[in-house]
Structure 1
């Protein structure tokens, strides 16, 4: 393991090379040392560089820790408890500014991912392998990093609008700071990366168990469809998503909704792209980052998320599930019109039986058949998260790490996006109805018999995404792209106990350019308006 971690630390340092001046002629060069120009000349080294690009998914601001805080709080699916730290409190209250540490970390790690992907692309172009197997692997790695680069830019352009567009590693190598590119150009680059990745024959539809977690062709198609949906290119989105509904892809809804967020979800047939527990150590490389941004003292534990303990009501209890999210699970029965509580509530939060939440925990604890009642008499009268928790197995956690993989794209998400693409084109008939009812039937929810007109169908679709994907960091992006983020957040916050404010301002439709960028990139700094974006 130490050997593997040393390898990745080496590759990380090589990928961070940045020089702005010529070396003195008196400097001596160790001819046996690793160097940018000579190291990446075999398929093993390019594989290490590719995995180092994946590793940024668990860097600060992303999936190891801050990502779930940022989007659950800003999307008002979570709300702060008394233990929540200042940077996260600002997110939920919409009082953050350009110095918010979490948003700065998110920006920095997304660009770190881009820079590492650019290095792989740069070094792949400089190496011309003669072996057929090496060429195939090289094309696979190129497709993987183009997916990751597109994933990073999709976040940047959606959240910040115009952003610097780095596609050439040499620009970074020579400390050339770029100005912000128009958002339209960023969207074009995202499409280009994903269409090129989709077009390669080297990217598999499935991997052997030793390589699970790498980008598949299905993941590329799903992300491209999502990009088209965000751009309101409904027909293209529909065509992309429909490819995943049959051969050669074998995706299907997991029979158990709970299993999708359990310690065994690595094997769910619903998975399209996950952040996998122990992902990179399983690949024989290791990762230098842990949920707090380091991992020297956590050898062998580097790819865990801390979400379970952070949200855990019997542990760090940093957040509640918001009242608005809880109330959304009760709505008119599609058949009778009477109040109806969706069964997915029981899988999403702990609460009272009347709320639909799970009222007991530790059903499968090592203590035997003993079941503990969830205490719903919280001083604020609020409920706690169950999704992504594993209190069915343990009474308390012993470490800020979780063996549950994070869902980035799963089939139910794709099916609902496909239904939305149909509805947005005016088709509210059998196709979108079947997709929505398939997702509902998995959790034994009452089915719809009709979606009605386009306006009503979109209301149903919006609620389905809210309930099915609650706590999966989707709602903020959904509200933003639907153009109802401000009105929704302010309406919910106005009636939230302990809040009673309407904090969302027009400027919040774009996030502020972080100080970490404007302090180092004068070309970006001079373009920022009103000190915000």
Structure 2
């Protein structure tokens, strides 16, 4: 079975390619090769195994995709039609535009996801199986901390697996042979419970430090575990698990543990400026911000680990720009718009919403170093733009947030809104709105939930949240008047789906079964115990 090979080799790679950490950056570096029987003997082995958790699995989604291809993080947004690939060389993007939902078109990216998630699980399982035995070289506090990191990353990978594929094989021990390799799919309910068990243990315990992400050297913190568990409860509350009020309540409670923990805060909470010193620009450029609960790290300048999102921040027309001296402005030769928000999203922001202002999340003009102003053919993604990287033709230095305090507030808001605590829901929602320059939301009931869903899209337009929101609510955003600050969230089955094909709207273009990926065909061929998801047969 190919998956099991990947699971074994994934951890063997972490024995061969160790990782060293420092206070500022976690970097992957090759070390001398050791056989598996020689590994897990020293402090350095344990550190290497734990550091490997930060590279394979879910974090790798930010690296996957090169050249003209969208990154794996972008798949859901592209399928939704709310974002599209302007370059058009991606088989997935073209299939999504044409509504060609076939196993042939989707199996390869599905395999990429499946492989990476199980690689992360494999590495975590090796840590969890071996570190507790290392009492002769590690003190108990270190063992507890490493085990907590292992549980976090195992839960993180399974959460993505169950969201993307539904029922999946649950493996919680390392594979060291081919015995028992053909696993059947466990029910999504079972997988969710395992995820919750892992996270509850570390989110409510003391093995993880109660520090901010950057204060903890960019390693797993208690707030990271709590935020992930809040996300898990929020997702399980909706479709297809239908956990309902009980899970919404738990999501709010876990989010409030982060809020009460005191290690995370909103940048410029009383109202952001709308210049290059705004809260949103601090979030983009800072490597100290306490709003960031978890981020994918990059450091091109010192460690040659570059942020590839910079390539996707601006269209290829920018390579033709000339400065006042007739010189080419940008040397980057891989500029392309592989993740471009549709016009409906741009037009849904209220005029006073700072997030829609120039050079906050997006941008339309750029002034070069000689003072010449250039206009983009397509709105660019300022959140990813890194001037120095594009001018010098290398990867970027900015980190990519994957968990932010603003999301914690909105999870708490939605959990309370859906369980009847309107005042609390409004309180948390309006903290995010106030920072964006908006007036307080006074809606109640279903209108309040709609306002929260809209706020999630407006606050995280390029942080890859909306596809999960569509999956769990079975609702899709439609225009509610240009520049109104509002969206209508309507049943997916009859929604006006954007860009099907590009710049066209098609009613009901996303059947419900497309919300889960197909089980990769290679996996089914190698493992007779696996079955295909409905609709993809």
Could you state the TM-score of these two structures normalised by the residue count of structure 1? 0.77
Q: What are the Cα deviations for residues 205-238 of structure 1, in whole angstroms up to 9, with x where unaligned? A: 2279696221101100111111112222122112
Alignment partner, residue 292 of structure 1: none
Matches within 5 A, 1:99-114: 99=104, 100=106, 101-114=108-121
Matches within 5 A, 1:52-91: 52-57=52-57, 61-65=61-65, 66-91=71-96
DSSP-derived class of the 1:374 partner: strand
The 8 Å contact of residues 82 and 499 in structure 2, kept in 1 or not, is answered as no
Q: What are the Cα deviations for residues 50-72 of structure 1, in whole angstroms up to 9, with x where unaligned? A: 11121115776444542232133
The 8 Å contact of residues 309 and 397 in structure 1, kept in 2 or not, is answered as no
Would the alpha carbon gap of residues 10 and 493 (structure 1) be closer, same or farther in structure 2, given more than 3 Å must change? closer
Matches within 5 A, 1:163-178: 163-170=168-175, 174=179, 176-178=181-183
C-alpha distance in 2 between matches for 1:327 and 1:176: 51
Which of these residues, 213, 222, 225, is aligned with residue 218 of structure 2? 213
Which of these residues, 281, 295, 301, is aligned with residue 304 of structure 2? 301
Are residue 191 (structure 1) and residue 192 (structure 2) matched?
no
C-alpha distance in 2 between matches for 1:76 and 1:224: 28
Alignment partner, residue 295 of structure 1: none
DSSP-derived class of the 1:408 partner: strand
Matches within 5 A, 1:200-349: 200-206=205-211, 212-232=217-237, 233-254=247-268, 256-262=278-284, 264-278=285-299, 300-302=303-305, 304-313=306-315, 314=318, 315-330=335-350, 340=351, 342-346=353-357
Are residue 403 (structure 1) and residue 397 (structure 2) matched?
yes
Would the alpha carbon gap of residues 33 and 247 (structure 1) be closer, same or farther in structure 2, given more than 3 Å must change? closer
What are the ranges of 5 or more consecutive residues in structure 2 without an aligned counterpart?
A: 1-8, 18-31, 66-70, 238-246, 273-277, 319-334, 477-490
C-alpha distance in 1 between matches for 2:418 and 2:159: 21
DSSP-derived class of the 2:506 partner: coil
Would the alpha carbon gap of residues 212 and 130 (structure 1) be closer, same or farther in structure 2, given more than 3 Å must change? closer
Alignment partner, residue 27 of structure 1: none
What are the ranges of 5 or more consecutive residues in structure 1 without an aligned counterpart?
A: 1-7, 17-31, 283-299, 331-339, 351-356
The 8 Å contact of residues 119 and 169 in structure 1, kept in 2 or not, is answered as yes
The 8 Å contact of residues 324 and 496 in structure 1, kept in 2 or not, is answered as no
Alignment partner, residue 433 of structure 2: 440
Shift of 1:312: 2.1
DSSP-derived class of the 1:164 partner: coil
Are residue 455 (structure 1) and residue 475 (structure 2) matched?
no
Shift of 1:111: 0.7
Shift of 1:520: 2.3
**Cα RMSD for the two superposed structures:** 3.2
DSSP-derived class of the 1:272 partner: strand
DSSP-derived class of the 1:111 partner: helix
Q: How many residues align?
A: 458
C-alpha distance in 1 between matches for 2:503 and 2:197: 46
C-alpha distance in 2 between matches for 1:441 and 1:501: 35
Alignment partner, residue 39 of structure 2: 39
DSSP-derived class of the 2:402 partner: strand
Q: What are the Cα deviations for residues 479-506 of structure 1, in whole angstroms up to 9, with x where unaligned? A: 1111225728951327876334343123
Q: What are the Cα deviations for residues 445-478 of structure 1, in whole angstroms up to 9, with x where unaligned? A: x212512x21110111111111011111000001
Would the alpha carbon gap of residues 397 and 481 (structure 1) be closer, same or farther in structure 2, given more than 3 Å must change? farther
Which of these residues, 511, 517, 527, is aligned with residue 505 of structure 1? 511
Which of these residues, 407, 420, 438, is aligned with residue 414 of structure 2? 420
C-alpha distance in 2 between matches for 1:496 and 1:127: 56
C-alpha distance in 2 between matches for 1:511 and 1:10: 25
Shift of 1:432: 1.9
DSSP-derived class of the 2:265 partner: coil
C-alpha distance in 1 between matches for 2:231 and 2:13: 30
C-alpha distance in 2 between matches for 1:73 and 1:85: 11
Would the alpha carbon gap of residues 173 and 466 (structure 1) be closer, same or farther in structure 2, given more than 3 Å must change? same
Matches within 5 A, 1:10-159: 12=13, 14=15, 34-57=34-57, 61-65=61-65, 66-99=71-104, 100=106, 101-129=108-136, 134-159=139-164
Shift of 1:171: 6.9
